[in-house]
């Protein structure tokens, strides 16, 4: 019975992400990408999202799921795993560009993200290199709070995108 409940949570979690990604989807292949182009997503992570992520990845750090453990560690409440926030960047790129291949990602965690806190994840094109069969795009990446734009996560991502008409 327990396994069925976990599966239901996981399926519900995926469905939520599918809904969010559908909302993101645009005809990006017809957009002109250039340095400075920004793409973003506003979201929050619920306690159920965090629990599903922790079960899926095996992250057993109690600061993510136990308020008392988080408070004992100096936080006001449960903290969203940093890699869960980092997962927003390939979601933004992959949902906008069918066939995108995510090559690399660096992340620096600047501040904790509270469960249910709204944040903005943003990628900005910083370099475009046209290759034979695709384009190598470098993005600066960052997450910041929706309320006061406090920086939470920053880094850089590189993706290979299918050649796009009017690229660069």
User: Closest Cα to residue 25, out of 120, 94, 88, 86?
Assistant: 94
What are 104's strand-pairing partners? 158
Cα–Cα distances (Å) from 6 to 10, 67, 77, in that order, read: 6, 21, 24
CB 4 within 8 A of CB 139: no
Percentage of residues in the chain with pLDDT exceeding 90?
A: 67
**Residue range 97-139, pLDDT digits in tens:** 888 999 999 999 999 999 999 999 999 999 999 888 889 999 9
Q: At what angle do helices 2-24 and 88-96 cross, to 10 degrees?
A: 50
Report, as an integer, the average pLDDT of 84-100. 93
Which parts of the chain fold into alpha helices (H)?
2-24, 47-57, 67-72, 82-86, 88-96
Q: What pLDDT is stored for residue 146 in this prediction? A: 87
**Residue range 52-83, pLDDT digits in tens:** 999 999 999 999 999 999 999 999 999 999 99
Q: Which residue has the higher pLDDT, 4 or 46?
A: 46
114 secondary structure, DSSP code = B
Q: What pLDDT is stored for residue 133 in this prediction? A: 85
Tokens of 62: 């109690």
Q: What pLDDT is stored for residue 110 in this prediction? A: 98
Q: What pLDDT is stored for residue 79 in this prediction? A: 98
Q: What pLDDT is stored for residue 11 in this prediction? A: 39
Angle (CA) 55 56 61, round 5°: 45
Question: At the topology level of CATH, where does 2-45+81-162 sit?
Answer: Thiol Ester Dehydrase; Chain A (3.10.129)
Going from N- to C-terminal start, the domains of the chain cover 2-45+81-162
Q: What pLDDT is stored for residue 164 in this prediction? A: 56
113 secondary structure, DSSP code = -
Q: What pLDDT is stored for residue 97 in this prediction? A: 87
Separation between Cα atoms, residue 114 and residue 81, nearest integer Å: 9
């Amino acid at each position: 019975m327990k396994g069925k409940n976990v599966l239901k949570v996981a399926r519900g979690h995926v469905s939520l992400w599918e809904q969010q990604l559908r909302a993101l989807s645009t005809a990006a292949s017809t957009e002109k990408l250039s340095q400075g182009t920004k793409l973003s997503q506003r979201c929050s992570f619920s306690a159920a999202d965090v629990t599903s992520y922790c079960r899926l990845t095996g992250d057993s750090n109690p600061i993510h799921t136990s308020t008392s453990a988080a408070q004992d560690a100096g936080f006001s409440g449960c903290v969203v795993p940093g890699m869960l926030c980092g997962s927003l960047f390939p979601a933004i790129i992959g949902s906008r560009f069918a066939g995108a291949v995510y090559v690399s990602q660096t992340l620096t965690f600047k501040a904790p993200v509270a469960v249910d806190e709204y944040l903005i994840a943003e990628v900005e094109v910083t370099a475009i290199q046209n290759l034979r069969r695709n384009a190598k795009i470098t993005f600066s990446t960052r997450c910041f709070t929706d309320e006061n734009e406090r920086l939470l996560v920053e880094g850089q991502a590189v993706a290979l995108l299918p050649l796009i008409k009017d690229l660069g």
